[in-house]
Each structure stands twice: as C-alpha cells, then as structure tokens.
Amino acid sequence: MSEKKFRFSLATVLEVRKQATERAMQALARAMHQREAQAATVAAAEARLRETTAAGPRAGTTGPEGLRRSAAFRQHAHQRVAKARKTLQHLQQNERDARRALAQARHAEEALYELRDEEKAEHTKTLRDAQQAFLDEQAVTRHQHDHPLLS
C-alpha cells in the first residue's frame, strides 16, 4: 500500500505570508537604521548648538551688526535642532508602525503554520486509519482462506 504524500492545501498562501514577513522585517530594519541615523543628527545639532551658545559672540562681532548675526546664527541652530527632533519623532513613529506590521505579519504566518500542523496531523491519522483498515481486511481475508468452514 503506497502512502499519499502530505501537501498543505494553503502552501501558496503560506509562502506569500513568509514573503510578507520578510518584507516587514526588512522595513523594520530600514526604519531602525533611519531612526538611528537621525538620532545621531539630533545629537550633532544639539552639540553644535551648545558650542555656539557657550562660545558667545566672536571677537570683532561685538557691534550691533555682529550681535544680530550671532543671534541669527544661534536662532538658526535652534531651528535646526527643532527640525531634527521633529524628524526623529516622525522616524520613531515609523519604527513603531514597522514593528506593529511585523508582529501582524508574523501572527498571520504563525496561524498558517498551526493550520498546516493540524492538516498534517489529520493526514497522518487518515493514513494510519487506512493502513489499519487494509491490514484488518488482509487479516480477515487470510483467516477466511485458512479456515473456510468458519466463515
């Protein structure tokens, strides 16, 4: 008696889910990299602002025009820091969204793995039952052949 090989009925769907999970993992990796790079940009902008603020006006810029330029430069540095922080917040949200998307993709994939395991167990049980029925039939046939008067 030949055994029928197990084939998951939703194998193509499972493959699509695997690919979706892989894409979600890649998206999360990109989001993390972008967030880390932006965090470094924020740190550099904040350091530049601290340096600018700590240095005070440069020599020869103590006149009204020099003070205005120095104030404008500090204002510009503050704006760069604020913009960098806002971008960082946006990228942090993107990373959270990517983590959520990955969790959802993994959940969908895991659900299909569970279904596959259930189908495989049912397939194995069906095969085992069919083999047992075949053996029982063989035993009955053999018994009837060996003991024709009893049947």
Longest dimension (CA), the chain: 128
Work out the pLDDT band at 51, boundaries 50, 70, 90: confident
Tokens 């330029």, residue? Answer: 69
Q: State what percent of residues in the chain have pLDDT above 90.
A: 68
Residue 66 has pLDDT above 70, yes or no: yes
Average pLDDT over residues 26-45: 98
CB 25 within 8 A of CB 106: no
Amino acid at 31: A
Supply the pLDDT for residue 62: 66
Work out the pLDDT band at 122, boundaries 50, 70, 90: very high
56 vs 119, residue with greater confidence: 119
The sign of the torsion formed by the CA atoms of 57, 63, 64, 68 equals: negative
CA–CA separation, 150 and 143 (whole Å): 9
